[in-house]
Structure 1
Amino acid sequence: MINAGIIGSTGYAGQQLVWFLNSHPDVKINFLSSHSYNGISFSKIYGNYSKKLESICIDIKEAENKLSEIDILFIALPHGKSFDLVKKALDLGIKVIDLGADFRLKDPKIYKKWYELDHKATNLLPKSVYGLPELNRNIIKKSNLIANPGCYPTASILALTPLLKFNIIDSSSIIIDAKSGVSGAGRSLNTATLYGECNESIKAYSVSAHRHTPEIEQMLSQVNNKDVSLLFTPHLVPMNRGILATCYGNLIKDVSEEELYEIYNSFYKNESFVRVIKEIPETKWVKGSNICDIAIRVDERTKKVIIISAIDNLIKGAAGQAVQNMNIMFNIDENKGLDLLSMFP
């Protein structure tokens, strides 16, 4: 049995993680920590857990005192809040999966530029592994510190990797146009995500300045073996959850849509959570699942390729991927606790 602790358990990603771990056959949740709801039963915060999970949320200090009781620590905190916790857990021999941004970027200068903070655990950056299982499975197995990818990067990187790995597109031509449901903004009170503000509307935000940009570029540069610089524009749409990423690139090879489907099907043939499909992806077909749907279109007139991907931002884009990483780290069935199809409608 894997003993787990969760810090930041009452945010949207944290709650989704609790939902998975609570029903995972190989996991026991040792503690749930929350700054905002310290001393309150988890079921009082989320009524769906009534009579099923009555654990009282504890504060971070109390959680730190219980670290020696667990095998793995999940951290779902805002950027800049994980440094000390990760150090303490690793010193005790505890595995860590950080759902935040603090260990995703390898260069502390880039971290400071985009997050406007000094990185306070630079010695741990070489030890951290970017937790995208489809690309880094073998090194995830050997790591004690996983930087769980962001939601937009997961959808974008999975969509674009085969094109860059096989040098099919011009790496300087990439444009990512992505839409997210409002849960991606978190559970904190925010005027922009109030029902009356975001319903019946769609808007772009953080144009040319979204913090997921360097994360996407970093991973795609590794895949491409040279620096990738791209344009990424996120949008907020009035739905609870889901991400749709439409990615564009200029073809540098004469390749048909059918040939690209062969390449993608071959590349992802052993991946349980990536579906290469002919239909244009929709978020409703992946909502509530750990699945990423990917479709391909070639515009022969402009010599461009369009890759469309869809994920549930709280699952494959956060908590589900964290559980997938945990399964790999503990050498158990990667699909365990995650083999769910979307619920419809």
Structure 2
Amino acid sequence: MRVSIIGATGYAGAELLRLLYEHPQADIVHITSESHAGEKISSIYPHLRGILDETLESMKEIERIGKDSDFVFIALPHGHAMAAGKALEGEGTRIIDLGADYRFSDTAVYEAWYGVRHTHKDAPRVYGLAELNREAIRSAKIIGNAGCYTTASILALAPLAKSHLIDMGSIIVDAKSGASGAGRSAKQANLLSELYDSFKAYGVAQHRHTPEIEQAMTVLSGEPCVLSFTPHLVPMSRGILATCYARLKDGVEQEMVDAAYGKMYGKEYFVRLLGRGGYPATKDVRGSNFCDIAWHIDERTRRVVVLSAIDNLVKGAAGQAVQNFNIACGFDEKLGLDHIAVYP
């Protein structure tokens, strides 16, 4: 398959390059960057020297790029993918957007949380969380790749919501991410001297991944979901650990919770169940497309506490996109993704 990457110089774009270069069924034909057009990608990322020395182009010629590509991966901040999607809607090219433009079924929600007018409201899009929407992804024209915090949180809570084991109004998600989740742009808050030996929350009660998690929980449970989500920044480069809390419904026993996870993920390769009482760690999934999940039940408070660990740049971004690509092409989902985590 001929593939192109729009926005190849961000962290997610660079991770896409790594995964797609090693993918046996992907041929990278175009890579773009507006800030580095005309430069070689290996001058931006020296680890690619002698491996990928292609010259970065501008996405201004998106129609030509689309004509040359079976799939276009868009790794740009929100607000940019919908213009590319609209420009390519008459082409046979399929799109996988790693940003937020195509994640919401209701564009009014997107506009309210992102503060941007949606210019491609009628786009035929599918939410790209493989374990939830596999069948729809197979034939989708546009796949809105799930976000990083949302992937960890939704996968953690999905069995409970789908099996109606929890009070949908009681969900709290407390998640921690490495600094790469904030992108590659220079920001004072992400300087080593600011991050090192520190730990802080941000975006409290207003983080844009909140409605994305709520959307998935509502679809899974059939009940409206409003939850509390608080992200934190920790001094590591990559990884997310989400700690999710919910109150169990009356009559729900521990074995019912165990069974719900086994039923939903028992045959999923990229979701590894550590079981009741387990402790996932970001180090155990670093550089891989795995999501490790465990759960604890607090009988005293009647709460279930679910722990979920992913690499935010792989399962939370580029790896998820390649998994969606594999599904859309009819390939084995593990193709180009069957990597062991980098340890230690």
Q: Which TM-score band applies after superposition, normalised by the shorter structure?
A: over 0.9
> What residue is the counterpart of 1:61 in the other structure?
60
- Secondary structure in 2 matching 1:122: coil
- Which letter does structure 1 place at the counterpart of 2:166? I
Per the TM alignment, residue 32 of structure 1 is displaced from its structure 2 partner at its CA by 0.5
Q: Quick check: 2:165–2:257 contact (8 Å CA) kept in 1?
A: no
In the alignment, the residues of structure 2 paired with residue 261 and residue 287 of structure 1 have an alpha-carbon distance, to the nearest angstrom, of: 26
Per the TM alignment, residue 258 of structure 1 is displaced from its structure 2 partner at its CA by 4.2
Q: What per-residue deviation string (whole Å, max 9, x for no partner) do you get for residues 41-67 of structure 1? A: 111111111111110001111344232
Q: Quick check: 1:293–1:309 contact (8 Å CA) kept in 2?
A: yes
> What residue is the counterpart of 2:221 in the other structure?
224
In the alignment, the residues of structure 2 paired with residue 39 and residue 161 of structure 1 have an alpha-carbon distance, to the nearest angstrom, of: 44
Structure 1: runs of 5 or more not aligned: none
> What residue is the counterpart of 1:29 in the other structure?
28
Structure 2: runs of 5 or more not aligned: none
Answering whether residue 37 of structure 2 is matched by residue 51 of structure 1, we say no
Q: What per-residue deviation string (whole Å, max 9, x for no partner) do you get for residues 233-265 of structure 1? A: 000000000000000001114344344223212
In the alignment, the residues of structure 1 paired with residue 62 and residue 113 of structure 2 have an alpha-carbon distance, to the nearest angstrom, of: 30
> What residue is the counterpart of 2:104 in the other structure?
105
> What residue is the counterpart of 2:203 in the other structure?
206
> What residue is the counterpart of 1:114 in the other structure?
113
Which of 156, 180, 184 does residue 183 from structure 1 map onto?
180
Per the TM alignment, residue 105 of structure 1 is displaced from its structure 2 partner at its CA by 1.4
> What residue is the counterpart of 1:155 in the other structure?
152
Paired residues for 1:8-19 under 5 Å: 8-19=7-18
Q: Which moved more, 1:67-76 or 1:104-113?
A: 104-113
Q: Quick check: 1:33–1:63 contact (8 Å CA) kept in 2?
A: no
Per the TM alignment, residue 113 of structure 1 is displaced from its structure 2 partner at its CA by 1.0
> What residue is the counterpart of 1:335 in the other structure?
334
Paired residues for 1:240-251 under 5 Å: 240-251=237-248
In the alignment, the residues of structure 2 paired with residue 29 and residue 161 of structure 1 have an alpha-carbon distance, to the nearest angstrom, of: 34
Number of aligned positions between the proteins: 342
Identity of paired residues, percent? 49
Structure 1 vs Structure 2 CA RMSD: 1.0
In the alignment, the residues of structure 2 paired with residue 47 and residue 62 of structure 1 have an alpha-carbon distance, to the nearest angstrom, of: 26
> What residue is the counterpart of 2:5 in the other structure?
6
In the alignment, the residues of structure 2 paired with residue 181 and residue 215 of structure 1 have an alpha-carbon distance, to the nearest angstrom, of: 20
Per the TM alignment, residue 203 of structure 1 is displaced from its structure 2 partner at its CA by 0.6
> What residue is the counterpart of 1:136 in the other structure?
133
- Secondary structure in 1 matching 2:89: helix
Which of 235, 239, 262 does residue 236 from structure 2 map onto?
239
Per the TM alignment, residue 83 of structure 1 is displaced from its structure 2 partner at its CA by 1.5
In the alignment, the residues of structure 1 paired with residue 274 and residue 331 of structure 2 have an alpha-carbon distance, to the nearest angstrom, of: 28
In the alignment, the residues of structure 1 paired with residue 306 and residue 83 of structure 2 have an alpha-carbon distance, to the nearest angstrom, of: 39
> What residue is the counterpart of 1:193 in the other structure?
190
> What residue is the counterpart of 1:311 in the other structure?
310
- Secondary structure in 1 matching 2:315: coil
> What residue is the counterpart of 1:287 in the other structure?
286
- Secondary structure in 1 matching 2:95: strand
- Secondary structure in 2 matching 1:235: strand
- Which letter does structure 1 place at the counterpart of 2:33? S
- Which letter does structure 2 place at the counterpart of 1:45? I
Q: What per-residue deviation string (whole Å, max 9, x for no partner) do you get for residues 81-137 of structure 1? A: 11121122231110000000001112222111101111111111xx10001110100
Answering whether residue 286 of structure 2 is matched by residue 276 of structure 1, we say no
